[in-house]
Chain A
Amino acid sequence: MRLGVLFSGGKDSTLALQYAADKEEVACLITLLSKNKESYMFHTPNIDVSALQAEALGLPQIKKTTMGEKEKELSDLEDAIAQAAKEYQIEGVVTGAIESVYQAERVQRICYGLGLWCFNPLWKHDQKKLLEEILEKQFTTIISGIFAYPLDETWLGKQIDTKLIELLVDLQQKYSISPSGEGGEIETTVLDAPIFKKKIEILNSTIEAKWNSGVFNIKQARLVSK
Protein backbone atom coordinates (compact mmCIF):
# COMPACT_ATOMS: atom_id res chain seq x y z
CA MET A 1 0.00 0.00 0.00
CA ARG A 2 1.33 3.45 -0.94
CA LEU A 3 1.21 5.77 2.06
CA GLY A 4 1.72 9.44 2.81
CA VAL A 5 3.08 10.26 6.27
CA LEU A 6 2.01 13.41 8.11
CA PHE A 7 5.48 14.62 8.95
CA SER A 8 6.58 17.40 11.29
CA GLY A 9 10.17 16.26 11.75
CA GLY A 10 9.63 15.49 15.44
CA LYS A 11 10.18 12.12 17.10
CA ASP A 12 6.57 10.92 16.85
CA SER A 13 6.02 11.47 13.15
CA THR A 14 9.51 10.13 12.40
CA LEU A 15 8.87 6.98 14.44
CA ALA A 16 5.47 6.56 12.75
CA LEU A 17 7.27 6.92 9.41
CA GLN A 18 9.72 4.21 10.45
CA TYR A 19 6.85 1.85 11.32
CA ALA A 20 5.11 2.62 8.03
CA ALA A 21 8.28 2.06 6.00
CA ASP A 22 8.82 -1.29 7.74
CA LYS A 23 5.36 -2.53 6.67
CA GLU A 24 4.32 -0.67 3.53
CA GLU A 25 5.62 1.70 0.84
CA VAL A 26 6.01 5.32 1.90
CA ALA A 27 5.38 7.44 -1.19
CA CYS A 28 5.65 10.94 0.28
CA LEU A 29 5.71 13.14 3.35
CA ILE A 30 2.95 15.66 4.02
CA THR A 31 3.88 18.70 6.08
CA LEU A 32 1.72 21.58 7.28
CA LEU A 33 3.69 24.75 7.93
CA SER A 34 1.58 26.43 10.60
CA LYS A 35 1.88 30.15 11.23
CA ASN A 36 0.12 29.64 14.54
CA LYS A 37 2.55 28.67 17.28
CA GLU A 38 -0.43 27.64 19.43
CA SER A 39 -1.79 25.19 16.82
CA TYR A 40 -3.83 22.33 18.26
CA MET A 41 -3.02 20.17 15.26
CA PHE A 42 0.50 20.87 14.07
CA HIS A 43 4.00 20.97 15.51
CA THR A 44 5.71 24.31 14.78
CA PRO A 45 9.34 24.60 16.07
CA ASN A 46 11.85 24.04 13.28
CA ILE A 47 9.13 22.95 10.89
CA ASP A 48 11.22 24.52 8.10
CA VAL A 49 13.92 21.92 8.83
CA SER A 50 11.47 19.26 7.62
CA ALA A 51 12.52 20.00 4.03
CA LEU A 52 16.10 19.06 4.92
CA GLN A 53 14.83 15.97 6.73
CA ALA A 54 12.82 14.98 3.63
CA GLU A 55 16.02 15.29 1.60
CA ALA A 56 17.85 13.19 4.20
CA LEU A 57 15.11 10.59 3.90
CA GLY A 58 15.11 10.69 0.10
CA LEU A 59 11.33 11.23 0.08
CA PRO A 60 9.24 13.82 -1.77
CA GLN A 61 7.41 16.28 0.46
CA ILE A 62 4.07 18.01 0.02
CA LYS A 63 4.26 21.28 1.95
CA LYS A 64 1.31 23.51 2.66
CA THR A 65 1.26 26.70 4.67
CA THR A 66 -1.67 27.21 7.02
CA MET A 67 -2.55 30.18 9.16
CA GLY A 68 -3.36 27.62 11.82
CA GLU A 69 -6.83 28.89 12.58
CA LYS A 70 -8.78 26.22 14.44
CA GLU A 71 -10.78 24.04 12.01
CA LYS A 72 -9.63 26.10 8.95
CA GLU A 73 -6.28 24.34 9.34
CA LEU A 74 -8.16 21.08 8.80
CA SER A 75 -9.29 22.26 5.41
CA ASP A 76 -5.64 23.06 4.60
CA LEU A 77 -4.65 19.59 5.78
CA GLU A 78 -7.34 18.04 3.62
CA ASP A 79 -6.05 19.96 0.60
CA ALA A 80 -2.50 18.73 1.28
CA ILE A 81 -3.64 15.11 1.64
CA ALA A 82 -5.74 15.37 -1.51
CA GLN A 83 -2.70 16.75 -3.34
CA ALA A 84 -0.62 13.81 -2.10
CA ALA A 85 -3.30 11.39 -3.31
CA LYS A 86 -3.29 13.01 -6.73
CA GLU A 87 0.47 13.46 -7.18
CA TYR A 88 1.76 10.32 -5.46
CA GLN A 89 -1.26 8.01 -5.68
CA ILE A 90 -1.26 7.36 -1.96
CA GLU A 91 -3.93 4.97 -0.66
CA GLY A 92 -3.55 5.89 2.97
CA VAL A 93 -2.19 8.33 5.52
CA VAL A 94 -0.04 7.68 8.59
CA THR A 95 0.06 9.94 11.65
CA GLY A 96 2.15 10.03 14.81
CA ALA A 97 -0.86 10.48 17.11
CA ILE A 98 -0.40 8.80 20.48
CA GLU A 99 -3.17 9.93 22.79
CA SER A 100 -4.90 12.88 21.18
CA VAL A 101 -8.41 11.93 20.19
CA TYR A 102 -8.78 15.53 18.97
CA GLN A 103 -6.05 15.03 16.35
CA ALA A 104 -6.83 11.42 15.52
CA GLU A 105 -10.53 11.83 14.83
CA ARG A 106 -9.99 14.84 12.62
CA VAL A 107 -7.46 13.07 10.43
CA GLN A 108 -9.70 9.98 10.36
CA ARG A 109 -12.60 12.11 9.09
CA ILE A 110 -10.48 13.71 6.38
CA CYS A 111 -9.22 10.31 5.22
CA TYR A 112 -12.75 8.90 5.26
CA GLY A 113 -13.95 11.79 3.12
CA LEU A 114 -11.13 11.23 0.63
CA GLY A 115 -11.56 7.45 0.58
CA LEU A 116 -8.13 6.82 2.11
CA TRP A 117 -6.90 4.46 4.81
CA CYS A 118 -5.67 6.03 8.03
CA PHE A 119 -3.10 4.49 10.37
CA ASN A 120 -1.85 5.64 13.78
CA PRO A 121 0.89 3.12 14.62
CA LEU A 122 1.89 4.85 17.88
CA TRP A 123 -1.71 4.98 19.15
CA LYS A 124 -1.89 4.49 22.95
CA HIS A 125 1.81 3.65 23.17
CA ASP A 126 3.29 3.97 26.65
CA GLN A 127 5.11 7.29 26.51
CA LYS A 128 8.20 6.26 28.46
CA LYS A 129 8.56 3.16 26.31
CA LEU A 130 8.21 5.31 23.22
CA LEU A 131 11.13 7.48 24.35
CA GLU A 132 13.16 4.36 25.10
CA GLU A 133 12.27 3.00 21.68
CA ILE A 134 13.69 6.01 19.87
CA LEU A 135 16.94 5.46 21.75
CA GLU A 136 16.95 1.73 20.96
CA LYS A 137 16.33 2.59 17.31
CA GLN A 138 19.24 5.04 17.50
CA PHE A 139 17.34 8.21 16.74
CA THR A 140 19.27 11.42 17.36
CA THR A 141 16.60 13.74 18.71
CA ILE A 142 16.86 17.16 20.32
CA ILE A 143 14.40 19.16 22.39
CA SER A 144 13.34 22.04 20.14
CA GLY A 145 10.52 23.50 22.18
CA ILE A 146 9.46 23.70 25.84
CA PHE A 147 6.02 24.90 26.86
CA ALA A 148 5.34 23.88 30.47
CA TYR A 149 6.48 24.48 34.02
CA PRO A 150 9.11 23.62 35.28
CA LEU A 151 10.88 23.18 31.92
CA ASP A 152 13.24 26.04 31.14
CA GLU A 153 15.76 27.09 28.50
CA THR A 154 18.41 24.68 29.80
CA TRP A 155 16.38 21.90 28.15
CA LEU A 156 16.48 23.47 24.70
CA GLY A 157 18.82 21.82 22.22
CA LYS A 158 19.50 18.88 24.55
CA GLN A 159 19.67 15.45 22.98
CA ILE A 160 17.23 12.85 24.26
CA ASP A 161 19.24 10.19 26.08
CA THR A 162 18.67 7.81 28.99
CA LYS A 163 19.37 10.48 31.59
CA LEU A 164 16.96 12.94 29.99
CA ILE A 165 14.23 10.29 29.83
CA GLU A 166 14.67 9.70 33.56
CA LEU A 167 14.29 13.43 34.17
CA LEU A 168 11.12 13.57 32.07
CA VAL A 169 9.62 10.59 33.89
CA ASP A 170 10.49 12.26 37.19
CA LEU A 171 8.66 15.40 36.02
CA GLN A 172 5.68 13.28 35.06
CA GLN A 173 5.44 12.02 38.62
CA LYS A 174 5.90 15.46 40.19
CA TYR A 175 4.09 17.74 37.75
CA SER A 176 1.98 15.40 35.54
CA ILE A 177 3.98 16.40 32.48
CA SER A 178 3.54 13.95 29.64
CA PRO A 179 7.07 12.50 29.21
CA SER A 180 6.82 12.37 25.44
CA GLY A 181 5.27 15.82 25.26
CA GLU A 182 1.88 14.55 24.10
CA GLY A 183 0.24 17.46 25.88
CA GLY A 184 2.42 19.92 23.98
CA GLU A 185 4.87 20.28 26.88
CA ILE A 186 7.88 19.60 24.65
CA GLU A 187 8.54 19.51 20.94
CA THR A 188 11.42 17.67 19.33
CA THR A 189 13.45 17.63 16.13
CA VAL A 190 15.01 14.45 14.74
CA LEU A 191 18.50 14.88 13.29
CA ASP A 192 19.16 11.25 12.45
CA ALA A 193 17.35 7.89 12.42
CA PRO A 194 17.94 4.51 10.76
CA ILE A 195 15.64 5.50 7.90
CA PHE A 196 17.68 8.66 7.18
CA LYS A 197 20.15 8.25 4.32
CA LYS A 198 22.11 11.26 5.61
CA LYS A 199 22.09 12.98 8.97
CA ILE A 200 21.54 16.62 9.82
CA GLU A 201 24.32 18.75 11.25
CA ILE A 202 23.31 22.00 12.93
CA LEU A 203 25.61 24.87 11.96
CA ASN A 204 23.88 27.79 13.62
CA SER A 205 21.10 28.01 16.17
CA THR A 206 19.50 30.41 18.61
CA ILE A 207 17.46 30.01 21.75
CA GLU A 208 14.40 32.13 22.43
CA ALA A 209 12.93 31.52 25.85
CA LYS A 210 10.97 33.26 28.53
CA TRP A 211 9.89 31.66 31.78
CA ASN A 212 8.74 28.16 30.89
CA SER A 213 8.27 28.65 27.20
CA GLY A 214 10.92 28.64 24.53
CA VAL A 215 12.23 27.29 21.26
CA PHE A 216 15.56 26.11 19.92
CA ASN A 217 15.68 27.62 16.44
CA ILE A 218 17.85 25.87 13.88
CA LYS A 219 19.01 28.78 11.73
CA GLN A 220 21.42 26.89 9.49
CA ALA A 221 21.95 23.18 8.97
CA ARG A 222 23.32 20.80 6.38
CA LEU A 223 23.25 17.13 5.47
CA VAL A 224 26.32 15.06 6.14
CA SER A 225 27.17 11.45 5.33
CA LYS A 226 26.51 8.80 7.97
Chain B
Amino acid sequence: MILIVDMNCKKNSLGFYEFVLPVVEVAKKLDKCRILHYLDLTSKDLSECDKIILSGTALKDTATLSQPEKFQWLKETDKSVLGICAGMETIGMVFGAPLCKCVEIGMTPITTVKENPLFSGDYKAYSLHNFCVQTPETFEVWAKSEKCIQSIKHKDKRIYGVLFHPEVRNQEIIKRFIAS
Protein backbone atom coordinates (compact mmCIF):
# COMPACT_ATOMS: atom_id res chain seq x y z
CA MET B 1 0.00 0.00 0.00
CA ILE B 2 1.27 3.45 -0.95
CA LEU B 3 0.75 6.20 1.59
CA ILE B 4 0.39 9.54 -0.15
CA VAL B 5 0.94 12.42 2.22
CA ASP B 6 -0.95 15.65 1.52
CA MET B 7 1.60 18.40 2.20
CA ASN B 8 -0.79 21.33 1.63
CA CYS B 9 -1.02 23.79 4.51
CA LYS B 10 -4.68 23.02 5.15
CA LYS B 11 -6.63 19.77 5.20
CA ASN B 12 -9.18 19.45 2.38
CA SER B 13 -7.63 22.41 0.61
CA LEU B 14 -8.01 23.57 -2.97
CA GLY B 15 -4.39 22.52 -3.49
CA PHE B 16 -5.35 18.90 -2.77
CA TYR B 17 -6.91 18.55 -6.23
CA GLU B 18 -3.84 19.93 -7.98
CA PHE B 19 -0.96 18.41 -6.05
CA VAL B 20 -2.27 15.23 -4.41
CA LEU B 21 -4.94 13.74 -6.68
CA PRO B 22 -2.75 13.66 -9.83
CA VAL B 23 -0.15 11.63 -7.87
CA VAL B 24 -2.89 9.30 -6.62
CA GLU B 25 -4.14 8.81 -10.19
CA VAL B 26 -0.70 7.54 -11.22
CA ALA B 27 -0.05 5.46 -8.09
CA LYS B 28 -3.41 3.73 -7.88
CA LYS B 29 -2.82 2.02 -11.21
CA LEU B 30 0.00 0.07 -9.55
CA ASP B 31 -0.99 -0.37 -5.93
CA LYS B 32 -3.58 0.47 -3.30
CA CYS B 33 -3.29 4.04 -2.07
CA ARG B 34 -4.11 5.74 1.18
CA ILE B 35 -4.13 9.53 1.47
CA LEU B 36 -3.42 11.33 4.73
CA HIS B 37 -2.67 14.95 5.58
CA TYR B 38 0.75 15.42 7.16
CA LEU B 39 -0.80 16.69 10.38
CA ASP B 40 -2.76 13.43 10.73
CA LEU B 41 0.14 10.97 10.33
CA THR B 42 0.63 8.45 13.14
CA SER B 43 3.39 5.89 13.63
CA LYS B 44 0.77 3.21 12.93
CA ASP B 45 -0.05 4.78 9.55
CA LEU B 46 3.62 4.90 8.69
CA SER B 47 4.23 1.29 9.71
CA GLU B 48 1.24 -0.08 7.77
CA CYS B 49 2.31 1.21 4.36
CA ASP B 50 4.93 -0.13 1.96
CA LYS B 51 6.05 3.16 0.47
CA ILE B 52 5.43 6.84 1.09
CA ILE B 53 5.06 9.76 -1.31
CA LEU B 54 5.15 13.34 -0.02
CA SER B 55 3.14 15.59 -2.35
CA GLY B 56 4.00 19.02 -3.64
CA THR B 57 2.09 22.17 -2.78
CA ALA B 58 1.08 25.51 -4.29
CA LEU B 59 4.00 27.84 -4.99
CA LYS B 60 3.23 30.08 -2.01
CA ASP B 61 2.55 27.19 0.35
CA THR B 62 5.68 26.63 2.44
CA ALA B 63 3.92 25.55 5.63
CA THR B 64 5.79 22.26 6.07
CA LEU B 65 9.15 24.07 5.99
CA SER B 66 8.37 25.73 9.29
CA GLN B 67 7.29 22.47 10.97
CA PRO B 68 10.32 20.15 10.96
CA GLU B 69 9.02 18.52 14.15
CA LYS B 70 6.14 17.00 12.14
CA PHE B 71 8.59 15.10 9.94
CA GLN B 72 11.10 13.68 12.40
CA TRP B 73 9.69 10.27 11.49
CA LEU B 74 11.76 10.52 8.29
CA LYS B 75 14.87 9.95 10.41
CA GLU B 76 13.42 6.76 11.89
CA THR B 77 11.63 5.15 8.95
CA ASP B 78 13.04 2.27 6.96
CA LYS B 79 10.36 2.68 4.26
CA SER B 80 11.00 4.02 0.77
CA VAL B 81 9.99 7.69 0.59
CA LEU B 82 9.69 9.92 -2.48
CA GLY B 83 9.36 13.65 -1.82
CA ILE B 84 7.97 15.79 -4.62
CA CYS B 85 8.84 19.51 -4.66
CA ALA B 86 7.79 20.72 -1.18
CA GLY B 87 8.23 17.06 -0.21
CA MET B 88 11.87 17.13 -1.30
CA GLU B 89 12.43 20.50 0.36
CA THR B 90 11.00 19.10 3.58
CA ILE B 91 13.22 16.01 3.37
CA GLY B 92 16.25 18.24 2.87
CA MET B 93 15.28 20.45 5.81
CA VAL B 94 14.80 17.49 8.17
CA PHE B 95 18.26 16.16 7.36
CA GLY B 96 19.93 19.53 7.73
CA ALA B 97 20.28 20.59 4.10
CA PRO B 98 20.08 24.36 3.76
CA LEU B 99 17.32 25.73 1.54
CA CYS B 100 17.89 28.74 -0.67
CA LYS B 101 15.62 30.90 -2.78
CA CYS B 102 15.35 29.58 -6.33
CA VAL B 103 12.31 30.09 -8.53
CA GLU B 104 11.57 27.86 -11.52
CA ILE B 105 8.14 27.80 -13.14
CA GLY B 106 7.30 25.70 -16.19
CA MET B 107 9.00 23.04 -18.28
CA THR B 108 12.65 22.86 -17.23
CA PRO B 109 15.60 21.00 -18.80
CA ILE B 110 16.93 18.40 -16.34
CA THR B 111 20.26 16.61 -16.53
CA THR B 112 20.88 13.30 -14.80
CA VAL B 113 24.23 13.48 -13.01
CA LYS B 114 24.23 10.05 -11.37
CA GLU B 115 22.94 6.78 -12.73
CA ASN B 116 19.84 5.74 -10.79
CA PRO B 117 16.77 3.50 -11.05
CA LEU B 118 14.18 6.29 -11.42
CA PHE B 119 15.30 8.23 -14.53
CA SER B 120 18.19 8.70 -16.92
CA GLY B 121 19.64 11.11 -19.48
CA ASP B 122 18.45 14.62 -20.24
CA TYR B 123 14.75 15.41 -20.16
CA LYS B 124 12.26 18.18 -19.43
CA ALA B 125 10.05 18.30 -16.37
CA TYR B 126 7.43 20.68 -14.94
CA SER B 127 8.84 22.88 -12.20
CA LEU B 128 6.93 24.97 -9.70
CA HIS B 129 9.13 25.92 -6.78
CA ASN B 130 10.33 28.87 -4.73
CA PHE B 131 13.24 27.17 -2.99
CA CYS B 132 15.90 24.59 -3.71
CA VAL B 133 17.93 22.23 -1.55
CA GLN B 134 21.64 22.93 -1.30
CA THR B 135 23.99 19.96 -1.39
CA PRO B 136 23.89 18.30 1.99
CA GLU B 137 26.46 15.77 3.13
CA THR B 138 23.78 13.18 3.84
CA PHE B 139 22.52 13.08 0.23
CA GLU B 140 23.85 12.23 -3.17
CA VAL B 141 22.74 14.38 -6.09
CA TRP B 142 20.95 12.57 -8.93
CA ALA B 143 19.88 15.42 -11.20
CA LYS B 144 20.33 19.12 -11.76
CA SER B 145 18.82 21.94 -13.79
CA GLU B 146 20.72 25.00 -14.87
CA LYS B 147 19.73 26.72 -11.61
CA CYS B 148 19.71 24.06 -8.92
CA ILE B 149 19.70 20.47 -7.65
CA GLN B 150 16.61 18.68 -8.96
CA SER B 151 16.88 15.24 -7.41
CA ILE B 152 18.55 13.74 -4.35
CA LYS B 153 18.83 10.42 -2.54
CA HIS B 154 19.76 9.89 1.07
CA LYS B 155 23.13 8.12 1.23
CA ASP B 156 22.01 5.49 3.75
CA LYS B 157 18.23 5.37 3.45
CA ARG B 158 15.69 4.76 0.67
CA ILE B 159 14.63 8.39 0.75
CA TYR B 160 14.45 10.19 -2.59
CA GLY B 161 13.48 13.67 -3.70
CA VAL B 162 12.56 15.35 -6.95
CA LEU B 163 12.12 19.11 -7.00
CA PHE B 164 10.04 19.04 -10.20
CA HIS B 165 6.54 17.56 -10.48
CA PRO B 166 6.78 14.11 -12.11
CA GLU B 167 2.99 13.70 -12.01
CA VAL B 168 2.69 16.28 -14.80
CA ARG B 169 4.94 15.05 -17.63
CA ASN B 170 7.22 12.41 -16.08
CA GLN B 171 4.85 9.90 -14.54
CA GLU B 172 7.25 7.04 -15.21
CA ILE B 173 9.35 8.27 -12.29
CA ILE B 174 6.47 7.69 -9.86
CA LYS B 175 5.76 4.31 -11.44
CA ARG B 176 9.42 3.24 -11.14
CA PHE B 177 9.52 4.37 -7.52
CA ILE B 178 6.46 2.25 -6.75
CA ALA B 179 7.76 -0.72 -8.71
CA SER B 180 11.28 -0.54 -7.26
Contacts and interface: CB of A to CB of B under 8 A. Distances in A.
Interface stretch (B8-16, B34-42, B78-86, B92-100): B8-16
Interface residues of B, number: 22
B14 A94 contact: yes
Given A23-B12, A119-B14, A123-B18, A112 B105 contact: yes
Contacts, number: 57
A123 B24 CA distance: 13
Interface in B107-127: 107, 126
Contact of A109 (B13, B60, B106, B169): B106
Contacts of A109: 105-106
Contacts of B106: 101, 105, 108-109
Given A19-B14, A24-B14, A123-B17, A117 B58 contact: yes
Interface in B1-38: 12-15, 17-18, 21-22, 25
Contacts of A23: 12-14
A92 B61 CA distance: 12
Contact of A19 (B17, B59, B107, B128): B17
Contact of B25 (A19, A24, A117, A126): A126
Contacts of B63: none
B103 interface: yes
A123 B59 contact: no
Interface of A: 19-20, 23-24, 92, 94, 101, 105, 108-109, 111-112, 116-126
By Cβ-Cβ distance, the 8 closest A-B pairs, closest first, are A105-B106, A124-B22, A121-B17, A123-B18, A119-B14, A23-B14, A117-B60, A108-B105
A116 B60 CA distance: 8
Interface string B52-84: 000000111100000000000000000000000
A105 B107 contact: yes
Contacts of A121: 14, 17-18
B167 interface: yes
Contacts of B103: 112
A122 B107 contact: no
B102 interface: no
Given A108-B59, A109-B106, A121-B17, 7 more contacts: A101-B106, A105-B126, A112-B59, A119-B18, A120-B18, A123-B18, A124-B167
Contact of A124 (B12, B15, B25, B105): B25
A118 B14 CA distance: 10
A94 B15 CA distance: 10
Contacts of B60: 92, 116-118
B14 A108 contact: no
A112 B168 CA distance: 20
A107 to B, nearest CB: 10
Contacts of A119: 14-15, 18, 58
A19 B61 CA distance: 19
B42 to A, nearest CB: 25
B126 to A, nearest CB: 6
A109 B126 CA distance: 13
A118 B59 contact: yes
Nearest to B10: A23
A135 B34 CA distance: 27
B85 to A, nearest CB: 13
B101 to A, nearest CB: 12
